[in-house]
């Protein structure tokens, strides 16, 4: 399950510029949040810069995890620091994550940097095993629970185009309908004023990244 793609990962130390692309956290309902990310086949200097930048954006937003789709990139990786603070905790990078062996269930409140200010309860497996690679090409194999388990599940969902609001119960979703409408209205107006490109432009950029890394 997913292991073959992990083993095809190659590491390339040549310098490739990210170009003019500036990373920022995109918000619901940006279409890239619904894009299913493809496995990464190579890691280069530009990708390491992207990861560094993702940590910075995550800290600015006081988050504990950030997936590549959330910075409008279609690649299968996410970053985590459970302390949300560069001076504390451990910076972890998960490339091509695969979640297996779910055990138990647990309900807890979640939020998301792509839905700022919105919170809701989500039921998820209590413990999972996560298998991935880090930036050095070392395999990560960990049995996780508590906040760590919830974060890796939330972030892996992002890579599949799934948001935590999709996993809320129907009755809980009714409570956030108004807030989602506000996100949608704001996104529409940002688009109309040129703050967000149209779907075709976004799709073309995602294809370019996929051609380079996937």
Active site residues: 155
Q: How far is CA 171 from the centre of its chain?
A: 26
Phi and psi at 106, nearest 5°, equal -150, 135
Q: CB of residue 8 vs Zn ion: minimum separation in angstroms?
A: 27
Neighbours of 211 (CB within 10 A): 8
Q: Assess contact for 68 and 77: CB atoms under 8 A.
A: yes
Q: Which of residues 40-59 bind Zn ion (CB under 5 A)?
A: none
Q: CB of residue 92 vs Zn ion: minimum separation in angstroms?
A: 16
Q: How far is CA 11 from the centre of its chain?
A: 21
Decide whether 77 or 112 has the Cβ nearer to Zn ion. Answer: 112
Phi-psi region of 79 (alpha: psi -120 to 50; beta: other; left: phi over 0): beta
Q: Which of 71, 73, 112, 196 binds Zn ion (CB under 5 A)?
A: 112
Decide whether 71 or 202 has the Cβ nearer to Zn ion. Answer: 71
DSSP conformational letter for 211: H
Phi and psi at 41, nearest 5°, equal -105, -15
Q: Which single residue brings its beta carbon nearest to Zn ion?
A: 112
Q: CB of residue 164 vs Zn ion: minimum separation in angstroms?
A: 6
Decide whether 165 or 196 has the Cβ nearer to Zn ion. Answer: 165
DSSP string for residues in 167-195: GS-HHHHHHHHHHHHHHHHHHHHHHHTTS
Q: CB of residue 162 vs Zn ion: minimum separation in angstroms?
A: 10
Which range binds Zn ion by CB under 5 A, 13-21, 105-113, 179-187, 200-208? Answer: 105-113
Phi-psi region of 49 (alpha: psi -120 to 50; beta: other; left: phi over 0): alpha
Which range binds Zn ion by CB under 5 A, 33-41, 108-116, 119-127, 188-196? Answer: 108-116
Instruction: Tell me the C-alpha distance between 4 and 124, whole Å.
Output: 26
Which range binds Zn ion by CB under 5 A, 90-98, 106-114, 120-128, 182-190? Answer: 106-114
Q: CB of residue 30 vs Zn ion: minimum separation in angstroms?
A: 12
Decide whether 58 or 112 has the Cβ nearer to Zn ion. Answer: 112
Decide whether 96 or 153 has the Cβ nearer to Zn ion. Answer: 153
Phi and psi at 121, nearest 5°, equal -80, 140
Which residue ranges make up the site for Zn ion (CB under 5 A)?
A: 112
């Amino acid at each position: 399950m997913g292991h073959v793609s992990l083993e095809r990962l190659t590491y390339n130390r040549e310098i490739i510029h990210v170009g003019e692309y500036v990373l920022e956290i995109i918000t619901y309902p940006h279409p890239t949040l619904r894009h299913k990310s493809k496995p990464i086949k190579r890691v280069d200097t530009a990708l390491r810069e992207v990861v560094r930048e993702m940590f910075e954006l995550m800290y600015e937003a006081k988050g504990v995890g950030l997936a590549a789709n959330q910075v409008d990139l279609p690649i299968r990786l996410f970053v985590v620091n459970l302390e949300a603070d560069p001076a504390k905790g451990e910076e972890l990078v998960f490339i091509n994550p695969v979640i297996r062996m779910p055990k138990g269930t647990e309900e807890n409140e979640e939020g998301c940097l792509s839905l700022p200010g919105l919170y809701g309860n989500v039921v998820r497996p209590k413990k999972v095993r996560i298998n991935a690679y880090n930036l050095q090409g070392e395999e990560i194999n960990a049995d996780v629970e508590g906040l760590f388990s919830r974060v890796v599940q939330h972030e892996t969902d992002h890579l599949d185009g799934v948001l935590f609001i999709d996993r809320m119960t129907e009755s809980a979703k009714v409570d956030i309908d108004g807030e989602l409408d506000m996100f949608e209205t704001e996104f529409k107006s940002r688009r109309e004023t040129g703050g967000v490109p149209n779907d075709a432009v976004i799709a073309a950029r995602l294809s370019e990244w996929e051609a380079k890394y996937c």
